[in-house]
Amino acid sequence: MGKSGHGLGGEIDARRMERRMLLYYTQDGLWDLCLGVCALSWGLAIRFDFAAFIGVICGTSVPVVWALKRLVTRPRAGHARLREGGRLKRRFTLVLSVLAGLGLVMFLLVAMQPSSFLRTNFPVLFGALIAVVVSFAAYWVGVRRYYAYALFLFLAGVVHQWGGVHLGESVAVSGAVILVCGVGVLAVFLKDHPRVGEGADA
Amino acid sequence: MHEDSPRERVVSGLGAVDRIIHEPARLAIMARLYLLEEADWLFLHRQTGLSFGNLTSHLTRLEASGYVVIEKTFVDRKPHTLVRMTDEGRTAFDRYREQMRDWLEPDGSA
């Protein structure tokens, strides 16, 4: 199998090529920063009881990432569009919707049964659900560091449940760690990918 | 009447391989474009590691063969080159892979 994702003896390995493309576009660390900022702001919102804060940050973070992709990533890494890009997006959205639906069901169950097992262990279970979502993203794009982020977010719930730490603080610390990792990944990307104009060799 | 041996058939078949695609740099470009709807110059430069001059000359050669179309535009007053593989290029690449497979695995073993 060649580096390009082709096997002369078999069918072209489209999935492998897709993963290589997705991996290529996650090396800028912008989604790491987005996840870190969301988790940090979520933790701070819980800690200081300022719920509107998380909505504003999470609502603006995705458009900000797309804008930064255009400003930072494209001039350094270039742009390409997969032939099967639409199908990929649809499948990704479907799985995320199913996971979001599971989260909603969990919320409803907690609301309906105040003394249930779910309510007692809600921080751990919700942390596990978030970790599953992040792990799914890690599997999808083939970025192994996202598995570590999933673990950090799951541990935030565990530390609160059995460590006696305030949930807001544990989530904020997890977010801060992810944010620092994202800054590191972005710094490496910027160092390895200087801006190159067409007509000039790197 | 002389009949070609399997080995002779394979060697003569190699002579029919598309030389436009067979060149390593162009093969690298074609292999990437095959699965893409479109890619810009910078993406191909990063992915193949070819210098500006090399990449431009190979793309020009591929365009002249009708395997890719090159669209030159300006984005923020800077040149922006977008490359797409044509149906003809896709067919030629399929044929090339078929020929190479026959050559590398003449007995059909995968």
Domain assignment present for B7? no
Q: How many angstroms separate the CA of residue A68 from the nearest CA in chain B?
A: 16
Which candidate from B31, B46, B81 shows the least CB-CB separation from A2? B31
The ipTM (two decimal places) reads 0.72
Domain assignment present for A5? no
The mean pLDDT of B29-38, rounded to a whole number, is 89
- Residue A126's H or E segment, with its range, is helix A122-141
Domain assignment present for A185? yes
**Contact yes or no for B41 and A2 at CB 8 A:** no
- The closest of B29, B47, B36, B45 to B80, measured between CA atoms, is B45
Domain assignment present for A4? no
Residue B23 confidence (pLDDT): 92
Reported as a pLDDT band with limits 50, 70 and 90, residue A9 is very low
Q: Which domain holds residue B85?
A: 18-104
Residue A151 confidence (pLDDT): 95
% of chain A beyond a pLDDT of 90? 25
d(CA B46, CA A160): 45
Q: How many angstroms separate the CA of residue B83 from the nearest CA in chain A?
A: 9
Residue A10 confidence (pLDDT): 46
Would the pLDDT of A69 be above 50?
yes
Would the pLDDT of A142 be above 90?
no
Q: Is B90 on the interface with A (CB under 8 A)?
A: no
In the predicted model, what is the mean pLDDT of chain A? 81
Which position has the higher pLDDT, B14 or A56? A56
The mean pLDDT of B2-24, rounded to a whole number, is 72
A·B CB contacts under 8 A: 81
Q: How many domains does chain A have?
A: 1
Domain assignment present for B8? no
Q: Is B59 on the interface with A (CB under 8 A)?
A: no
% of chain B beyond a pLDDT of 90? 47
Would the pLDDT of A202 be above 60?
no
Would the pLDDT of A75 be above 80?
yes
Residue A57 confidence (pLDDT): 81
pLDDT tens digits, B64-100: 999 999 999 888 788 889 999 999 999 999 999 888 8
The CATH number assigned to the domain holding B91 equals 1.10.10.10
Residue A85 confidence (pLDDT): 61
Reported as a pLDDT band with limits 50, 70 and 90, residue A13 is low
SS3 of A201, please?
Answer: coil
Which candidate from A4, A80, A199 shows the least CB-CB separation from B39? A80
Residue B36 confidence (pLDDT): 87
pLDDT tens digits, A77-122: 888 888 766 666 677 777 777 777 777 777 777 767 766 777 778 8
In the predicted model, what is the mean pLDDT of chain B? 84
Q: Is B46 on the interface with A (CB under 8 A)?
A: yes
The DSSP symbol for A27 reads T
Domain assignment present for B57? yes
Q: Which domain holds residue A148?
A: 14-190
Would the pLDDT of A24 be above 70?
yes
Which candidate from A82, A84, A198 shows the least CB-CB separation from B81? A198
d(CA A168, CA A156): 9
The DSSP-derived string for chain B is -----HHHHHHHHHHTS-HHHHSHHHHHHHHHHHTEEEEEHHHHHHHH---HHHHHHHHHHHHHTTSEEEEEEEETTEEEEEEEE-HHHHHHHHHHHHHHHHHH-TT---
Would the pLDDT of B108 be above 60?
no
Which candidate from B34, B39, B79 shows the least CB-CB separation from A198? B79
Query: Closest-CA residue in chain A for B46?
Result: A77
Q: How many domains does chain B have?
A: 1
Q: How many angstroms separate the CA of residue A188 from the nearest CA in chain B?
A: 16
pLDDT tens digits, A38-65: 999 989 888 888 877 777 887 888 889 9
Would the pLDDT of A71 be above 50?
yes
Model-wide pTM > 0.90: no
Which candidate from A9, A74, A75 shows the least CB-CB separation from B110? A9
**Contact yes or no for A80 and B43 at CB 8 A:** yes
Q: Is A52 on the interface with B (CB under 8 A)?
A: no
Domain assignment present for B74? yes
Domain assignment present for B22? yes
Domain assignment present for B68? yes
The mean pLDDT of A8-16, rounded to a whole number, is 56
Chain B residues within 8 A of A23 when measuring between CB atoms: none
Domain assignment present for B9? no
Q: How many CB atoms lie within 10 A of CB A157?
A: 24
Would the pLDDT of A159 be above 60?
yes
Domain assignment present for B6? no
